[in-house]
């Protein structure tokens, strides 16, 4: 029981950190190209991960782990950041909530396909209801729709769900922060080449907000968040703890209310309570 609770606590910390990722990306792509932003955040996080691995004298992963690490790198180091950065040129970060609401369901599907988990039928009911609730709330916000942006976000969610499930499975033996660090290092040569090839023509016109967005997605979204997230998925179960992602949009909204004094509507509070109930139900029937 303690291991499971530790997993849920660690997963919740990861979700809170990830809640700022899409808004930060939206701000950063105003001045950085999607390719540069994706590659630069990966390079920065890889250097930090390499320093951490070296300082703690971690042994190299075995050859048997390389395929799984490549899937993690493709899904969460390259795929999700690039596809969302491209999508956010066409849609708002608010509209992206529609697709974030589908991420727990995608993670649960890959938990079955790649992680070998077998949740009970009622788990899927709560998972679908929770996803539908988030999507319904997002659509009710009246955000603009773009077919290109929507298709890019669908691809991003598939890539991310696969990367989450594969990384969590590998974390059971390799360790959570080690998995994301080695995945970042595996992608480093390609990401470094792309970063150099897509350097901005001029640095003078880049606003401070864009720099802050790059710093956040590099340090928190790309590294620190995964330290907590992969640990949580490994300890508490991929499908079960993955449902915590349903709360991610609402953490972002609460942060906006606290920091920017934006209004929190009664509908937002009711929706959040419904999501909490769905997460609790999914947790009960996950195994």
Condensed to tens digits (0 to 9), the pLDDT of residues 170-191 reads: 988 888 889 999 999 999 999 9
Q: What's the half-sphere exposure (Cβ side, CA atoms, 13 Å) at 27?
A: 15
Instruction: Write down the pTM of the prediction.
Output: 0.82
Mean pLDDT of the chain, nearest integer: 84
**Sign, CA torsion 103/104/105/108:** positive
Range of the structural domain that residue 177 is part of: 2-284
Residue in the block written with tokens 């995945």: 183
Among 218, 225, 164, 222, which Cα is nearest to 17's?
A: 225
DSSP 60: P
Percentage of the chain beyond pLDDT 90 is 35
Is the pLDDT score of 50 beyond 90?
yes
Dump strand ranges (E) for 2-66.
none
Among 199, 179, 196, 7, which Cα is nearest to 77's?
A: 179
Q: What's the confidence (pLDDT) of residue 72?
A: 94
Count of domains forming the chain: 1
Judged by average pLDDT, the poorest of 58-62, 99-103, 193-197, 208-212 is: 99-103
- Give the separation between CA 273 and CA 276, rounded to whole angstroms: 5
Condensed to tens digits (0 to 9), the pLDDT of residues 60-79 reads: 898 889 999 999 999 999 99
List Cα–Cα distances, 275 to 104, 128, 248, 250, in angstroms. 12, 11, 10, 10
């Amino acid at each position: 029981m303690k291991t499971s609770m530790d997993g849920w606590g660690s997963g919740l910390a990861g979700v809170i950190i990830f809640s700022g990722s899409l808004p930060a990306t939206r701000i950063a792509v105003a001045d950085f190209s999607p390719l540069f932003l994706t590659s630069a955040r990966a390079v920065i996080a890889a250097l930090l991960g390499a320093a951490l691995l070296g300082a703690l004298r971690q042994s190299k992963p075995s050859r048997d782990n390389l395929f799984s690490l490549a899937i993690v790198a493709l899904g969460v180091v390259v795929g999700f950041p690039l596809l969302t950065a491209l999508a956010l040129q066409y849609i708002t970060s608010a509209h992206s909530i529609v697709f974030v609401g589908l991420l727990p369901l995608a993670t649960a599907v890959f938990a079955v396909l790649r992680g070998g988990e077998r949740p009970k039928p009622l788990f899927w009911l709560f998972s679908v209801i929770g996803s539908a609730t988030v999507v319904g709330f997002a659509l009710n916000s009246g955000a603009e729709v773009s077919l290109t942006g929507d298709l890019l976000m669908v691809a991003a969610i598939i890539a991310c769900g696969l990367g989450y499930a594969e990384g969590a499975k590998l974390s059971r033996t390799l360790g959570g922060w080690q998995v994301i660090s080695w995945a970042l290092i595996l992608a480093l040569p390609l990401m470094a080449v792309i970063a150099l090839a897509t350097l901005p023509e001029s640095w003078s016109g880049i606003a401070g907000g864009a720099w802050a967005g790059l710093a956040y997605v590099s340090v928190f979204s790309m590294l620190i968040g995964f330290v907590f997230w992969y640990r949580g998925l490994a300890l508490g179960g991929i499908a079960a703890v993955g449902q915590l992602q349903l709360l991610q949009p609402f953490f972002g909204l609460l942060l906006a209310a606290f920091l920017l004094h934006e209004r929190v509507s009664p509908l937002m509070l009711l929706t959040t309570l419904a999501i909490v109930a769905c997460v609790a139900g999914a947790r009960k029937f996950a195994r």
